[in-house]
Structure 1
Amino acid sequence: MRHVVASSFDASAYLGALPQFAGQLPTGAARFATDPGHYDLAGSRCVKDLAVSELLHDGPAGTVRIRYAGNPWKHDEDLIVQYTGVTRLDVDAGDPSEGSGKVYGPGLIGHIMLDEILPAPEGCRHEIAGHRGRVVVVCADLTATWVRVPRPDDPPPGSWTPVLALGDRWHWLGRTPDGTWVVGVPHRRADPAEDSLDTLLEVLAGSWPATARRWSGLPPQAPALQTIVRHALVCGDWRARLALEWLEQGLPMSEDLAGALQVVQDDRRYGQRERHRARRLWKSYRRDAGH
């Protein structure tokens, strides 16, 4: 690879150079290379962590079709890349690539680390680096398509409706037809909100005012932000620090939150700074409440 350092999952140099040569790429290749999610390592449409599930090479037709299976912990979809006008196919996985109608099986090069698309005299050159090898395709152009694949544990359609994204790219707060609030990944299983407080903590990554504005459109029966903050306080570590920030930003206090703050200020497992912040918030609440 010329710019991407696949072994360290670093595409920064490539992304820096991409604007200079994106106009030289064929239409489909340019669309795929410049997709904002392509190198978003934590995103659900990043090539990292995909795995080749099928590679079909039709020599006489000059086509290659590669299907990449999504990682169930990251992707909701598989990626299919169709190459046309293929003049070169190299598969570095101990398996020859010559011939027509060649089908390569799953796990060909291991999970994908990263890829790189560059202009070539023929059109473009696509190199895919895996943990156990690599694939290089030189072609006139390519088309990349994401397709959702049903899984055995998928719930029946309509079993719950996503309502609000939590901010971690995958999970949503939603409701079942009987009104139960749940947390899950769209098209996948969802669990009751009261059993998903650890996942709901993702909302703390945003500021209290911004999240409060998003939450204001939900009905009163939705999980309360105060409940999430209380859970963060008793969890400790970075989650307690985010909860303290929300309280300092103006999240309304309650007796339950005051009790959690009292636990924090007296528990030496928390850092001294966090204990002092908790004590200031607790004293302010008690003073304002007239205690």
Structure 2
Amino acid sequence: MRFVDVHWQDHGFFLDPRAYLAELPRLRGVLPPGAWAFASDPGHYDIPGAVRCVKDLELAGIRPATDKSGRLVLEFAPNRFKHDTGLRISYSGVRHFSVEYHHAIDWMRVDTVLLDEILPDGERDEDGAEGGGCVHEIALTDASITVRCQDLRAEWGHSG
């Protein structure tokens, strides 16, 4: 991630979204509408308390399209100590999707979200044109997810 700082420190994760939150106002009108709505939600980075904070959600499902529609759905179950409901993120116009597993923390039952970051996608396509859309990076406790897409829609209220 470019602005959000997530790394292992001593006996736990160090998480700092302040640089991203400082950059976020400049991304208004640059990020696609769904990505902007999700990233700018007041509770998104409220780590200590907000039930709409992504921190500690549990990765529950990855559903790529079986056709060439460019759709992808990620489902996150609520953390029973923090969230009332889970989160479903539906991506449209997916150009790239990857999961990189680190296999460094083998004592956790599931991968949970540490933090995420959504930026405009400046990558160029085969014709040299800018891709548009956005890049969503999600840091998990033992993996990372990257999605390049046209836009996304985040819906709270799912059980994951």
TM-score (norm 1): 0.45
Report the residue type matching 1:80 in the other structure: R
Percent identity between the two aligned chains:
42
Q: Which residues of 2 match residues 95-134 of structure 1 at below 5 A?
A: 107=110, 110-120=111-121, 121-134=131-144
After superposition, the C-alpha distances for 1:214-238 in whole angstroms (9 at most, x for unaligned) are: xxxxxxxxxxxxxxxxxxxxxxxxx
Rg comparison, structure with higher value: 1
**Cross-structure match for 2:55:** 48
Describe the SS at the equivalent of 2:139.
strand
The answer to whether structure 1 residue 73 and structure 2 residue 81 are counterparts is yes
Out of 121, 129, 136, the position equivalent to 2:146 is 136
The answer to whether structure 1 residue 89 and structure 2 residue 123 are counterparts is no
**Cross-structure match for 2:39:** 33
Contact 1:85 1:139 survives alignment (8 Å): yes
Q: Distance in 2 between matches of 1:60 and 1:140?
A: 14
**Cross-structure match for 2:29:** 23
Q: Distance in 2 between matches of 1:118 and 1:144?
A: 15
Shift, 1:148, TM fit: 5.0
Q: Distance in 2 between matches of 1:54 and 1:67?
A: 5
Contact 1:76 1:148 survives alignment (8 Å): no
Decide which structure has greater strand share.
2
Q: Distance in 2 between matches of 1:124 and 1:136?
A: 10
Residues paired across the two proteins, number? 136
Q: Distance in 1 between matches of 2:90 and 2:15?
A: 24
Report the residue type matching 1:91 in the other structure: V
RMSD across aligned C-alpha pairs, in angstroms?
1.5
Contact 1:25 1:119 survives alignment (8 Å): yes
After superposition, the C-alpha distances for 1:100-155 in whole angstroms (9 at most, x for unaligned) are: xxxxxx93xx1111000001133000000011010000000000000154xxxxxx
Shift, 1:16, TM fit: 0.3
Decide which structure has greater helix share.
1
User: Which fold has the larger relative contact order, with Cα–Cα distance below 8 Å and residues 6 or more apart in sequence?
Assistant: 2
Describe the SS at the equivalent of 1:9.
strand
Q: Which runs of 5 or more structure 2 residues have no equivalent in the other structure?
A: 8-13, 103-108, 122-130
Greater than 3 Å deviation, 4+ residue runs: none
Q: Distance in 1 between matches of 2:29 and 2:41?
A: 14
